[in-house]
Amino acid sequence: MARSALLNVMTQAAMKAGRSLIRDFGEVQNLQVSVKGPADFVSVADHRAEEIVFKELSRARPDWGFLMEERGIVEGKDPQHRWIVDPLDGTMNFLHGIPNFAVSIALERDGQIVAGVIFNPAQDELYVAEKGGGAFVNDRRIRVSARSRLPEALFGTGTPFLGHGDHAGYLYELRQIISESGGIRRIGAASLDLAYVAAGRLDGFWEKGLKSWDIAAGAIIVREAGGFVTNVAGAKFDHMMGEIACGNELIHKALIAQLGDAAKKRAKARATDSADEA
């Protein structure tokens, strides 16, 4: 594929940060057996990758702002454009030596995501998309899967963890999807889940409690691959709201229906519990 100048800037930044991460990833394996452990080292690797992305993008577009996982909001002179960056999505995987992590970069223009890049350096896979230009992995055009039936569909999701998320509500969703689908995978990096939906490896994905930098790039890649992207209730997707549901047209519709049924079952259970307490 012939990339635009904008996508070239984004891919160069993502790949340079990814090369830094993959060097550090090799060191994590050795740190697993140390007394101190690898957590501090991973934090350094995360910040190092973010600094690389920040410098590369700032040099190319000095007036544009940033929303970054570590650095937070960096105001730019140009109010129309903002980079949204996760320098290491899948930190826990990285920490444990699991090669499922990525650099994620999206471009927001006037509040809308218009370009996205996700790079998994461990697998050497580069996913890119620009509004109206289609989605690609390593210069090969990708499309969402063509499956139409839930029993054949494989879903990705993210699970709440200690101190985060609505554990009880998620269990209702999980039981509902498990009972109707062909299976569920928990990859541990939302950006890669979305990339895999775009590539047809997963048929759908849903998750709540995310940050903009987790899903901004992935959302446009899924859309440019022909997928449908909304919030978990089926309403308009907003990358700043931190939740997403996606898939091809039929699987997405079925997924939204199942999540709706899960919400109803939970509401009924809570009402019953409240009545019993009264």
Q: CATH number of the domain that 264 lies in?
A: 3.40.190.80
pLDDT given for residue 273 in this prediction = 73
The predicted pLDDT at position 69 comes to 86
In sequence order, what E strands does the chain have?
64-68, 72-74, 78-89, 102-109, 112-120, 125-130, 135-137, 140-141, 154-157, 183-185, 204-207, 228-230, 244-247
Contact criterion met (CB below 8 Å) for 27 and 33? no
Number of independent structural domains in the chain? 2
DSSP of 25-44: HHHHHHHTTSSS-SHHHHHH
Domain identity same for 65 and 121: yes
22 and 137 in one domain?
Answer: yes
Of 141, 158, 188, the residue at which a domain comes to its end is 141
261 is in an annotated binding site: no
Residues ≥6 apart with Cβ < 8 Å to 261 = 176
* Structural domain of 181: 150-277
The strand pairing partners of 266, in sequence order, are: none
Residue ranges of the chain whose pLDDT lies below 50: 32-37
pLDDT digits (tens, 9 = 90+) for 193-221: 999 999 999 999 999 999 999 999 999 99
Main-chain phi, psi angles of 16, to 5 degrees: -65, -45
Could you give the 3-state DSSP secondary structure of residue 177? helix
Q: State the pLDDT at residue 160.
A: 85
**Is residue 21 domain-shared with residue 116, that is, in the same domain?**
yes
Ligand-binding annotation for 69, yes or no, is yes
> What is the radius of gyration, based on Cα positions, of the chain?
19
- Tell whether 63 is in a known binding site: no
